[in-house]
Structure formats: structure tokens, C-alpha cells
Amino acid sequence: MKEKTLKRPITSRGEKHTISKIHKKIKVALRYLLLIIIGFIMFLPFIMAFFGTVKTDKEITAFPPKFFPEVWHWENWARVWNTDLGQGGTFPRWLFNTAFLAITVAIAQAIFGSMAAYAFARLKFAGRKLVFNFMLATMMIPGAVTLIPAYVLVSKLKLINTYWSLILPGIVGAGSIFMLTQFFKSIPDELEEAAIIDGASHMQIFRMVIIPLARPAILTVLILQFQGMWNAFLTPLLYLNSPDKYVLNVALSIFQQQYKTQWNLTLVGAMFNAIPVLILFFIFSRYYIEGVAYAGIKG
């Protein structure tokens, strides 16, 4: 068999075929190379910042800058972790504040969001469409408009410098309600009808039928809201003003002002901020990406 094929004269057609095959292979290889290069560029700032964290104070300001650190000074990380800005302002504390706020807001948004979504998607009552359209209209309002009056309101309620100032306005969100409503609508009616025949109340249907089926959507809301609160900057900057109440983002901006030239330390702080979300992202990347894509298609 092998001999036969070898003996067969190579036709011009076959030659062309192999050339186009090689051509295709090169094309595929180039495509992967391009993907890898872009991926590398996307990560380059993080990689450089990461190397920066283990450089000495001198190395970090040296020109020309070197890509790799000469010696890996991991003690920088300990230095930052143990830094005390006074009045209880330390990185462990800020990490706790940020995580606490992000988790609380995410859970509240998931609970109250799915309640509202259930009402919009599964119940028929007068004014439902009106309230839903009202909600869509509020989504158009730019955050800049409510910024100052919300600050006045929070200060009147004496909530400045308390966690409540961020939790209370954050427990519901039109965005998460909208997303959950769309998902709840896609759940088939039959299950619900069966439950109604069995004499289940709306509360029971909500808890036993809808919630278990909507787990992926609820998880997406949890993750997106967690990330949103973790990355929030302007509202925490306005509302929380004592060092023991700061969130990481605000603390980081103040830290940078204090340690102006010691970029290695500021970058360690930035890593404390970035690593938890990045870990979470790599675990749940599917939900992140679906959430964003979903906002794109349905929005």
C-alpha cells in the first residue's frame, strides 16, 4: 500500500493541495501566536506591577527600569500588610470592610432582586407594566444626578461614616431585577401550574420552584454585584471617611498619597485589591462573561 502511493506520480493537483494545507497550518499557527501576544499584552501591566512589588525602594525608581527584580523582596508584602495609617487603618481591616460590604450588598441584591423579579415575571396585577417601565426609566438616570442629593440624604439620616450609607441604597438594583426578570420569564409555566394545583402559595412557588431553577442567574447577580461593590470608588470616597471604615479602593488612593515615591509599596496594596477579584473571576469566569454578554444582548 505504502509503496503504491509513493510510486504514484504527484499530480499538480495534489501538490496544490499540500501547499494549501501548509498554508492553512501556518495561518492557524499565526492565529494562536496573535492570541497569545494579545493575552500577554492584556496582562503586561499586571505582570510589571507584580514584579514591581518585590523590588527595593531604589530599584523601583531607577532609570532605565528593569523588567525583572534583582532579588525578590517578599518582605515588601509583609511591610504593607503591617502598615498602620493610624486610627485603625490597616490593610487587613480594609480587606475585611471591602469584603463585608461587597458580600452584604450582593446577597441583598440577589434576595430582593429575585423577589421583585418574581412579581414582574410571574404575577399578574394592576400596575405591573407601569412599575416595570418606571424601573427601566430609572436605569437611564445617570449616577451623577443622584450623587450629591444622596449624600445630603445620607448625612441627614446620620449615616455618614457607617456601613449603612453604602448598604441601604445598594440593597436593590434595577439592573439585577431586570436580568432576573428576563430569566424568570424563560422558566416554563407548567411547573408552576402543577404547584398551584397542589395548593402551593406564591411564597412556596417562589422558594421551591423558581429559586432552585434560577440558580445560574442568581449566581451571576451575586458575582456581578460583589464585583461592583468591591470596585466601587466614588460613593465610598464620599461616605466613609475614617481610616478604620475605608474600603480598599479609597485606602489605596490615600496610601499612594502618603508613600508617593515608594511605588513598590503602593503596588503591593494594589495587588491586595486585585488578587481576590481575579481569583473569584477565574473560578466563576463563566458567570461573569455570561452576565456581561447577557447585558449586551438583552440590554
Q: Which residues, numbered 269-298, are part of the site for other proteins (CB under 8 A)? A: 270, 273-274, 277-278, 281-282, 285-286, 288-289, 292-297
Q: Does 219 bind other proteins (CB under 8 A)?
A: no
Outline where 174-262 has alpha helix (H).
174-185, 189-197, 202-205, 211-213, 215-230, 234-239, 248-258
Name which of 293, 287, 173 is nearest 229 in CA terms: 173
Name which of 47, 75, 53, 44 is nearest 262 in CA terms: 53
Name which of 136, 105, 138 is nearest 120 in CA terms: 136
**Interaction with other proteins in 57-76: which residues (CB under 8 A)?**
61-65
- Taking CB under 8 A as the binding criterion, the range among 4-12, 16-24, 72-80, 138-146 that sits at the site for other proteins is 138-146
- Residue 255 near residue 93, CB atoms below 8 Å: no
- Taking CB under 8 A as the binding criterion, the range among 12-20, 70-78, 130-138, 185-193 that sits at the site for other proteins is 130-138
Q: Does 81 bind other proteins (CB under 8 A)?
A: no
Residue 188 CB contacts under 8 Å (≥ 6 apart), including other chains: none
**Interaction with other proteins in 164-193: which residues (CB under 8 A)?**
168-169, 171-172, 174, 177
Min dist. Cβ of residue 14 to other proteins (A): 24
**Interaction with other proteins in 231-270: which residues (CB under 8 A)?**
231, 233-234, 237-238, 248-249, 252-253, 256, 263, 266-267, 270
**Interaction with other proteins in 189-218: which residues (CB under 8 A)?**
202-203, 206
**Interaction with other proteins in 140-169: which residues (CB under 8 A)?**
140-153, 155-158, 168-169
- Residue 225 near residue 105, CB atoms below 8 Å: yes
How many residues make contact with other proteins (CB under 8 A)?
A: 94
Residue 228 CB contacts under 8 Å (≥ 6 apart), including other chains: 105
User: Cα–Cα distance between 194 and 119 in angstroms, integer?
Assistant: 19
Which of 14, 43, 136, 193 binds other proteins (CB under 8 A)? It is 43
User: Cα–Cα distance between 221 and 174 in angstroms, integer?
Assistant: 11
**Interaction with other proteins in 17-36: which residues (CB under 8 A)?**
31-32, 34-35
Nearer to other proteins, 90 or 239 (CB): 239
Nearer to other proteins, 90 or 264 (CB): 264
